[in-house]
Amino acid sequence: MWYFSEEEKELQRVCQKFAQTELAPVAEKHDTEESFNLKAFKKMGEIGVLGITADPEYGGAGMGCLSATLVMEEFGKACASSTLSYLAHSILCVNNIQNNGSKEQKQKYLPKLITGEWIGCMGMSEPEFGSDAVGIQTRAKKEGNNYIINGSKMWITNAQYADIAYVYTRTGDEKKNLSTFILDKNEGHFKAGKPIHKMGMRASPTGELIFENCKVPSSQLVGKEGDSIYHMMKNLDIERITISGISLGIAQACVDQCIKYAGERKQFGKNIGNYQLIQKMVAEMAAETEMMRSFLYNTAYKYDQGERGPVTAAMVKLTIPKLATKIALDAIQLHGGYGYSREFPVERMMRDNKLNEIGAGTNEVMIMIIAKHLLSEALKK
């Protein structure tokens, strides 16, 4: 994009190289085994991207939404699963602490999270409360200088490996009386439940966080009681933009794979790339991917310029993962029987991308946000 700075272009080059050497060669292996590429995750700390939006004072890169989205795209081309775990750590945990934590909390947690010594996650969804985030029932009860936390969180990326969890709880009976805590597994603040086996994103560990009379010092509270709604809203926009970067990476990888396959696969005596139906599929997939890229990076750029709002982020989150799933399905179709087999990566890309239509707010929730805004604006006229 024309507005990428030299620093951002260099970041892109570094991430491309890292993705091709550390993620792509073992993506299929980790997907098959449902194993976490912990070695590569630790190396992300070495190249300086685990704290992409964090202040340099704590070891972060001090960059913005655009840079974070660049990392998501480049990593997402190679292994969407590893990229999802990266997002959960860098955006859902590190970025939240950077934006909402006290100076003492930042000094205590960010340096080790940014180097990769510690792995982070965020706890919002619960077994009975996914899209209804403000309906959560995990409760923190104040007792002297401590809080006693009981409840559980479900569908938590990095749950089994997380040292630090940024967790939303209920601290009062009113629906919006929610509070945020930074919890440390090494101090007994939570434990992980059994892993969840998934259709896609199989190399990104997903599980449950369990709180059973966990005694947590008041110093772990982020801000004040009742601040969680503000914390949630503050981070949702960048989460929805950056997760769309993973979908963009998947779409581009599908296009690249289809171009390669069309030039190699022969039917009826010639490469299938010579047939107009195949040319139409490849051309449309490539055009759709470029459209996604323009919309996504323009939105990320505007976010960094201070033009923020839930509606545009919801539009990005609604359209880009949906288009990426369509492109991945087209890629499978173009590959024929090979596309439906595990011999080629396009079936994994489709399985992985479907999660992006669900996580960080389902397509249906995005439609509700967009429609509510548009209709309320129309009624004002």
- Single out the catalytic residue among 22, 208, 239, 357: 239
Whether the Cβ atoms of residue 158 and residue 121 lie closer than 8 Å to each other? yes
Q: What is the C-alpha to C-alpha distance for residues 29 and 122, in angstroms, rounded to an integer?
A: 26
Whole-number pLDDT of residue 259: 98
In the chain, what are the domains?
Answer: 6-118 (1.10.540.10), 122-226 (2.40.110.10), 229-380 (1.20.140.10)
Average pLDDT of the chain?
96
Is pLDDT of 315 > 90?
A: yes
- Percentage of the chain modeled with pLDDT above 70: 99
Whole-number pLDDT of residue 3: 79
CA 216, distance to chain mean position in Å, is: 28
Whole-number pLDDT of residue 134: 84
Q: What is the C-alpha to C-alpha distance for residues 110 and 54, in angstroms, rounded to an integer?
A: 8
Instruction: Dig out the tokens for 5 from the structure.
Output: 């700075």
Whole-Å CA distances, 160 to 75, 154, 358? 22, 12, 21
Is pLDDT of 317 > 80?
A: yes
Section 321-337 average pLDDT: 98
Whole-number pLDDT of residue 7: 97
Instruction: Please report which confidence band the pLDDT of residue 342 belongs to, taking 50, 70 and 90 as the band edges.
Output: very high
Is pLDDT of 351 > 90?
A: yes
Is pLDDT of 176 > 90?
A: no
- Percentage of the chain modeled with pLDDT above 90: 92
Is pLDDT of 26 > 80?
A: yes
Section 35-48 average pLDDT: 98
Does 357 participate in catalysis according to the annotation? no
Instruction: Please report which confidence band the pLDDT of residue 181 belongs to, taking 50, 70 and 90 as the band edges.
Output: very high
Q: What is the C-alpha to C-alpha distance for residues 98 and 237, in angstroms, rounded to an integer?
A: 15
Section 187-203 average pLDDT: 97
Q: What is the C-alpha to C-alpha distance for residues 236 and 228, in angstroms, rounded to an integer?
A: 12
Q: What is the C-alpha to C-alpha distance for residues 240 and 301, in angstroms, rounded to an integer?
A: 14
| Crossing angle of helices 228-264 and 310-335, rounded to 10° | 20
Q: What is the C-alpha to C-alpha distance for residues 286 and 292, in angstroms, rounded to an integer?
A: 10
Is pLDDT of 231 > 90?
A: no
Instruction: Please report which confidence band the pLDDT of residue 284 belongs to, taking 50, 70 and 90 as the band edges.
Output: very high
Whole-number pLDDT of residue 316: 98
Is pLDDT of 119 > 90?
A: yes
Cα torsion at 291, 297, 302, 307 (round to 10°)?
A: 70
| pLDDT tens string 82-107 | 999 999 999 999 999 999 999 999 99
Non-local (6+) Cβ contacts of 187 within 8 A are none
Instruction: Please report which confidence band the pLDDT of residue 57 belongs to, taking 50, 70 and 90 as the band edges.
Output: very high
Q: What is the pTM of this model?
A: 0.97
Instruction: Please report which confidence band the pLDDT of residue 379 belongs to, taking 50, 70 and 90 as the band edges.
Output: confident
Is pLDDT of 277 > 90?
A: yes
Whole-number pLDDT of residue 319: 98
Whole-number pLDDT of residue 5: 94
Whole-number pLDDT of residue 2: 73
| pLDDT tens string 164-174 | 999 999 998 88
The type of residue at 182 is I
Instruction: Please report which confidence band the pLDDT of residue 210 belongs to, taking 50, 70 and 90 as the band edges.
Output: very high
Whole-number pLDDT of residue 378: 81
| Crossing angle of helices 38-46 and 80-87, rounded to 10° | 60
Is pLDDT of 283 > 90?
A: yes
